[in-house]
Structure 1
Amino acid sequence: MKKRTLLWLILALGIFGGGAWMAKEANLFLSPRAKQLAYLKEHEDEMANFIKSRNPKVESVQFDWDSMEVGQIGNGTPQGGGYMLTFKGRINNLKESSFTLGFPLDNNRHALPNLERISEMQPIRIYRDGGWYYYD
């Protein structure tokens, strides 16, 4: 009887422990925001290439992951325009530079961003002489 109980205990620990490990690997325990952030970080190179394609003078891109926001966008209808995930960044390690990227989220604030729908919400700009100027 003790062997049978011990066998069931080992089997249960193996099943539940393995299930918890798989859930952790599949990011099931992460918040929607953390899942979105992890997805964006996995595709950082693709987003950097998008910014680099905007201006030949861009050599490096630095993203400000803490600036990530998901907000509702309006389009003048009662149901609204859906949700937009945005975050900011800099170029060429210049503190005075700025840009903003955006991803529409298809009426679900917890959806993962679609890299094919990336947009430059605020173009690359440089702060100098007391004002913001487009990077040229």
Structure 2
Amino acid sequence: MKKQTMFKLITTIAIFVSIGGCSVNQKAHTKQAQTTTFSSTEEDVEVIKQKQLAYLKEHEQEIVDFVKSKSSKIESVQIYWEETQWIDGGNGTPQGGDEVIEIFGTVNQLEDSGWRVDVVFDSDQKMTFGMGQHISIKGDSIE
């Protein structure tokens, strides 16, 4: 009787160890697959961002004209392409809003000036501009 109980105990332990090992192996395999997928997705996102940036640079004059239209005091517009940022716009819903591209720059060759234009692409890939930050010189908004 004692041998039979010992045999059942050893068999039960072996089964649990086997199941636990398979489970750990499966988790490791799944984690590796997710890491691979994430890397390729991250690369795809970078490619998309570079294409969007190139497209915006092709339409630089539209951005310049948009900023100039905000004040008659603006003679020239400088765009700092290297500061361009991509953010997810919030609209108060769980799924969130559109992706927003933020473009920064200065006006009238003044280092102490600044502005930000937010660019959104709609479902038809038409871009719309909005002032994300009013044009300012030395911290004061200009009209």
CA contact (8 A) 1:100 1:122 kept: yes
Residue 131 of structure 2 corresponds to which residue in structure 1? Answer: 120
Q: Which has the larger radius of gyration?
A: 2
Among 38, 45, 50, which residue is 2:54 paired with? 38
Q: RCO greater where, 1 or 2, for CA within 8 Å and sep 6 or more? A: 1
Match of 1:135 among 101, 124, 142: 142
Question: How far 1:105 moved relative to its partner?
Answer: 3.5
Decide which structure has greater helix share. 2
Q: If the length of structure 2 is used for normalisation, what is the TM-score?
A: 0.63
- What residue ranges of structure 2 are gaps of 5+ in the alignment? 1-45
Residues 20-99 of structure 1 aligned to structure 2 (within 5 Å): 31-99=47-115
Q: 1:126, 1:134 within 8 Å by CA — same for their partners in 2?
A: yes
8 Å contact from structure 1 (residues 83, 106) kept in 2: no
Offset of residue 106 of structure 1: 4.2
Kindly provide the amino acid, as one letter, of the partner of residue 134 in structure 1.
S
**How many residues are paired up?**
98
Match of 1:17 in 2: none
SS at match of 1:75: coil
CA–CA separation in structure 2 for the residues paired with 1:75 and 1:44: 27
Maintained 8 Å contact 1:89/1:100: yes
Q: Is the 8 A contact 1:62 1:90 kept in 2?
A: yes
Which residue matches 1:4?
none
Q: Could you list the runs of 4 or more consecutive aligned residues of structure 1 that deviate by over 6 angstroms after TM superposition?
A: none
The normalised TM-score by structure 1 is: 0.66
- Give the alignment's Cα RMSD to 1 decimal: 2.0
Identity of aligned residues (%): 37
Secondary structure at the residue paired with 1:118? strand
Q: AA paired with 2:105? A: G
The residue matched to 2:61 in structure 1 has which SS?
helix
